[in-house]
Amino acid sequence: MKSIYILITLFIIALSTLAGACQRHKNTGVTSPDEQAEIKMLKQEIHDSIRTFNVNFAKEAILKGKNVAKDSDDYYDFVLYDVILLFYMSQPDSMLNNLAQTMDYLSRQPATSRRNQMHIKCLQTKAAYYSQFYLDPDSLVYYNIEACKVAEQEPDFEQQILCLNNLADAYRQKGELAQSAFYYKKAIYLADSAHTAKDNYVPLYGGLAATYTTLHDFKQSKIWLDKSLELWELMMTHEKFNYLTNRGNDYYYQKDYLNCLNTFLQTDTFLRAHPELEWEKYICHSNIVDVYLKLNQPQNADSLLFDNIAFFQKMQSETVLPYLYTQQMELAMQKKDYKQAEQLIQKHPLPEGTKPDHILARLDFLQRYYTEQADWKKAFQYQKAYNELNDSLRDDRVRMRTADLQMRYERDATILNQKLYIGEKETQLLQTYTWLAISVSILILLVLLYYYRRKQMRFKEEQMLHRIVELRMENIRNRITPHFIYNALNHELLAQQQGKPTQLHVLVNLLRQGQNLANVFCTSLKEEMDFIQLYVQIEGEALGENFRYETILEEGIEPEHVTLPSMMIQIFVENAIKHGLKDIPAEIDARMEKKLILHIFKKENDIYIEVRNNGKPLNLQNRDHKTQTGLRVVSQTIQLLNERNKQQMSYNLTEYRDAKGETGCCAQLIIPNNYNFNIN
């Protein structure tokens, strides 16, 4: 699984589609029309037999073609067909011998369009040779690049598209996914420009979809898979197989194993109608084994995996076997046969040149295996290696986007050059317009630069102002915190000195909550009320049994949804207790009920918060330094907030008299509706 790429099949099909034509190298006679027709028919038969893997028929047709050919180019066309067949039959020595003969012949002949096509065949066959028999992805890429260079010398767009597709396949085989996507898209743009036949898009869409699948960009992979499906009726048999495999792989990478299994079972059903596609059948079975293992169904995977390994060992396919050995290790682990799993690990290390996704599969297995064996050191090493390789593949997304932009730029530049060539006679007028446009552009740029710099300076000034505000607010908050802590601690020390019971646990909660409120600029009314409740609980002890604290919350007010500056109401409460209720003369204190009332109500959609006490009226003209500290915090906080609001928050201290004639002091805070407490 994991995008098992049938490189050999693609190269056989690609190479066999390059047509040739006429004359054995030993003769110089002229080929008659009947002989030309026979040669053309033989080439078509060879082409069809290779595509259907009818080896014996292909051998006979190639031998007959060599005997019939009188033109040297025709003869070496049949030699190249022989090379392709030997490649499929895994006979590299004979293949290289024929390939060397053809390359030697081409090196001694002047270049023609037809010989360039033969040269491309040779380069692509050599690329496939190094990939298949030596697992050398660098050589695979190098010879495909050389083939593209030769193809660029020809006006045949379909030839160029085919070479770009093979180069993209090579980069995908190497694991350079950004380059792979670049050349797939370049081939697609070339096909669009040349208005080529629709069937030429089939391998391009499929290859690009597989690249995005490997990158886990499933949104893009779905787009290109859907485009491939639209061309289903134009696909040849092996292309339909490739489409179904790519679709299954996409589900696999998304971990949608049920849809994945259904897709591969559908592929298996499709292949039963094509018994000649034996290689594809075992590739499909390998994919099915992979899904069964992911679904923890080793009993279903066992027999299939045994047959798959036997087939690919017989075929000496070093590109597929490493992954099958990983499946075999996974199967042993799921069967709890750790001894066999360890033996397989030692027996089948990954060979050099293994595909990146096959390496990832092995690393993932090893990490899970050694975790299950409690060998944490090895498990960590393989997890680290897996993450590094996986991250490097995912980073290709960025490079792929860059490559896409570069390709679009190159395409646009080509179109621009064509337009300039067509309008050559209007060059002088265009130059005039160009200089005028440049001058206007420079002027506009200068104006924009001026306004940009001006806006930037304003922005920096605003940022600086915001920072000053933040520092001022931080300074204000830091001033109230120690002021409150000193008062609370003094109260507890005095209680200890007088032999009274202390409430240290309440004090601790009070100090902790007070510190939390001091660290934030704004809080909810509910949190402020909770804090005041703790504060009054401590301070109320010093006021005696005749002290009563009451909270009046009128209907329609939700404290948790009302915002206000933190600890602001606490300042009013503290001043009411300290300077109102505690300063009552002794002769009055013993016979009066001390009242502290927190009244919250709405008036014209504004929030009113009043703190009233019936103690000594506050002398507004003669407040001590500590009283002024708290009220100064209130004033400065409100001033800073009002600078950013049209509606103004306010507070006031007044004497009050109730209906019974009782007098005292009232501190009132008014918060407008929809007031903005953000100072940034």
CB 226 within 8 A of CB 262: no
CB 1 within 8 A of CB 287: yes
Domain assignment present for residue 667? The answer is: yes
Residue 629 exposed, middle or buried by CB count within 10 Å (0-12, 13-18, 19+)? middle
Residues 363, 505: one domain?
A: no
Domain assignment present for residue 678? The answer is: no
* Residue 396: pLDDT over 60: no
| Mean pLDDT for the stretch of residues 613-632 | 66
Residues 532, 666: one domain?
A: yes
Local structure of residue 579 (DSSP, 8 states): I
Which of 326, 358, 374 marks a domain boundary?
374
* Residue 542: pLDDT over 80: no
**Separation in Å, CA 424 to CA 427, 434, 435:** 5, 14, 17
* SS3 annotation, 304-340: HHHHHHHHHHHCCCCCCHHHHHHHHHHHHHHCCCHHH
Residues 353, 489: one domain?
A: no
Q: Other C-beta atoms within 10 Å of 487: how many?
A: 17
The H helix count followed by the E strand count for the chain is: 26, 7
pLDDT tens per residue, range 2-43: 444 344 444 444 444 444 433 333 344 456 777 788 888 888
Residues 491, 608: one domain?
A: yes
Q: How many domains does the chain have?
A: 2
pLDDT value at residue 626? 52
pLDDT value at residue 27? 40
**Separation in Å, CA 392 to CA 175, 177, 178:** 10, 10, 11
CB 208 within 8 A of CB 185: yes
pLDDT value at residue 63? 86
Domain assignment present for residue 472? The answer is: no
Domain assignment present for residue 555? The answer is: yes
| Mean pLDDT for the stretch of residues 545-573 | 89
Could you give the percent of the chain with pLDDT greater than 90? 28
H helical segments located in 395-426: 396-422
Residues 484, 370: one domain?
A: no
Between residues 33 and 472, the one the model is more confident about: 33
pLDDT value at residue 607? 94
Domain assignment present for residue 323? The answer is: yes
Could you give the percent of the chain with pLDDT greater than 70? 81
- Length of the chain, in residues: 680
Q: DSSP characters for 636-662?
A: HHHHHHHTT-SSPPEEEEEEEE-TTS-
Which two structure tokens, joined as six digits, stand for 116?
């360039």
pLDDT value at residue 480? 47
**Separation in Å, CA 269 to CA 1, 11, 244, 308, 630:** 18, 25, 11, 17, 84
Q: Could you tell me which of 98, 87, 94, 160 has the C-alpha nearest to residue 129?
A: 87
| Torsion over CA: 451, 452, 453, 458 (sign) | positive
Residues 487, 344: one domain?
A: no
Distance from C-alpha of 574 to C-alpha of 481, rounded to nearest angstrom: 13
**Separation in Å, CA 317 to CA 4, 283, 320, 355, 370:** 12, 11, 6, 13, 28
Which of 374, 401, 427 marks a domain boundary?
374
CB 609 within 8 A of CB 668: yes
pLDDT value at residue 430? 83
| Mean pLDDT for the stretch of residues 382-393 | 83
Which of 347, 374, 401 marks a domain boundary?
374
pLDDT band at 622 (very low <50, low <70, confident <90, very high): very low
pLDDT tens per residue, range 46-77: 877 776 667 788 888 888 888 888 888 888 88
pLDDT value at residue 92? 80
Which CATH number does the domain housing residue 337 bear? 1.25.40
pLDDT value at residue 129? 82
pLDDT band at 88 (very low <50, low <70, confident <90, very high): confident
Residues 370, 502: one domain?
A: no
| Mean pLDDT for the stretch of residues 572-593 | 79
β-partners of residue 607 are: 602, 671
Residue 601 gets the label, from left (phi > 0), alpha (psi -120 to 50) or beta, of beta
For 508, the domain range is: 479-671
pLDDT tens per residue, range 295-318: 999 999 988 999 999 988 887 777
pLDDT value at residue 64? 86
Distance from C-alpha of 461 to C-alpha of 115, rounded to nearest angstrom: 72
Beta strands 563-565 and 606-613 are unpaired
| Torsion over CA: 629, 633, 636, 639 (sign) | negative
Residues 628, 512: one domain?
A: yes
Residues 518, 636: one domain?
A: yes
β-partners of residue 565 are: 522
Residue with the two structure tokens 């040669």:
39
* Residue 672: pLDDT over 90: yes
Percentages helix, strand, coil for the chain, rounded to the nearest 5?
Answer: 70, 5, 20
pLDDT tens per residue, range 95-146: 888 888 888 998 898 988 888 888 888 888 888 888 777 768 888 899 999 9
Lowest mean pLDDT among 2-16, 227-241, 452-466: 2-16
Residue 428 gets the label, from left (phi > 0), alpha (psi -120 to 50) or beta, of alpha
pLDDT value at residue 229? 94
* Residue 474 identity: E
Between residues 353 and 200, the one the model is more confident about: 200
Domain assignment present for residue 348? The answer is: yes
Residues 659, 544: one domain?
A: yes
pLDDT band at 625 (very low <50, low <70, confident <90, very high): low
pLDDT value at residue 16? 47
Which CATH number does the domain housing residue 634 bear? 3.30.565.10
Domain assignment present for residue 442? The answer is: no
pLDDT value at residue 479? 52
Domain assignment present for residue 159? The answer is: no
Local structure of residue 655 (DSSP, 8 states): E
* Residue 562: pLDDT over 90: yes
Return the top range by mean pLDDT from 65-69, 337-341, 357-361, 387-391: 337-341
